[in-house]
Homo-oligomer: A and B are copies of this chain.
């Protein structure tokens, strides 16, 4: 009793099928598929009709094998946890698509060393022409980064520790903008709730805040440290709220600022009357915080676009631009800042 094998055509139609139907050679089909001009108008029509009839789809595997290029870029992300990464990824995807490249997501499942190197080694088997790395630097630093040799890479980060082209927001400029805004309002000094020490972006913002204060001859208060999460902002806020000296705080991102605002409300300290707060990122919700948050807007779209440009440049021209790309930020004044009482 021979089991009747379902004769399901698993593969789709190929050029050969189209060619047969149109009565031409495979090569002609190829030419039509690739929009070459040296095909007779009639023939082209006939081929296109045949393609439609059989539902032809070019096989990208065969194409990639033949051409040695995948027209695809990989993006290594550490979860899509953070607001910034998400937005940047979005911009990358848009830019890549526009440039005719597909985007391959290579998630790093947890923060462990092995997960990171796991992602990197998986990379070797991926069908990508280049990679954009979207995870914070420290996670990489120690890892024996087994990046496949000769694979173009662009890093989105604020570290200068790489041999790869770097694109990022100008953290220092943004932090200066925030700090100066508060000082200009008349505050004696500005406190700072920073991001995790492992983040270069956080370190840059912190350093620049510090620098701005000393440039102006102001005392530098002790730094509070959060982990980017709103919860950690709340924790820090509870400490700050009880300190009557605190009249102005620069928070390293909007999410932490949200938690900080909650802590201040809880303790009955009015914003901005008692305490002024400036965030960083300008995520959509910041305008709807209570009170609406003054913050530093960074253009994730621009960062995404620039990193794709840099990567595709590397892929197609083989050119490295080791000159880091810095994207400027912008101060957005809302209601969470005011002169000291």
Contacts and interface: CB of A to CB of B under 8 A. Distances in A.
Given A125-B60, A230-B284, A90 B79 contact: yes
A121 to B, nearest CB: 9
A107 B90 contact: yes
Interface in A52-82: 55, 57-65, 68, 70, 72, 79-81
- Residue from A11, A86, A255 whose CB has the most chain B CB atoms within 10 Å: A86
Interface string A243-262: 00000000000010011011
Contact of A65 (B8, B62, B262): B62
Interface residues of A, number: 64
Given A94-B109, A102-B126, A292-B262, A70 B80 contact: no
B93 A105 contact: yes
A97 interface: yes
A55 B148 contact: yes
A233 B288 contact: yes
A64 to B, nearest CB: 4
Interface string A145-185: 00011100000000000000000000000000000000000
B80 A87 contact: yes
Nearest to A263: B288
A64 B261 CA distance: 53
A240 to B, nearest CB: 15
Contacts of A326: none
Interface in A281-324: 284-285, 287-292, 318
Contacts of A97: 106-107, 109, 122
B80 A148 contact: no
A65 B57 contact: no
B90 A258 contact: no
A239 to B, nearest CB: 16
Nearest to A292: B262
A68 B59 CA distance: 10
A89 interface: yes
Given A231-B284, A262-B291, A266-B290, 7 more contacts: A55-B148, A80-B80, A80-B89, A97-B122, A230-B288, A233-B288, A262-B292
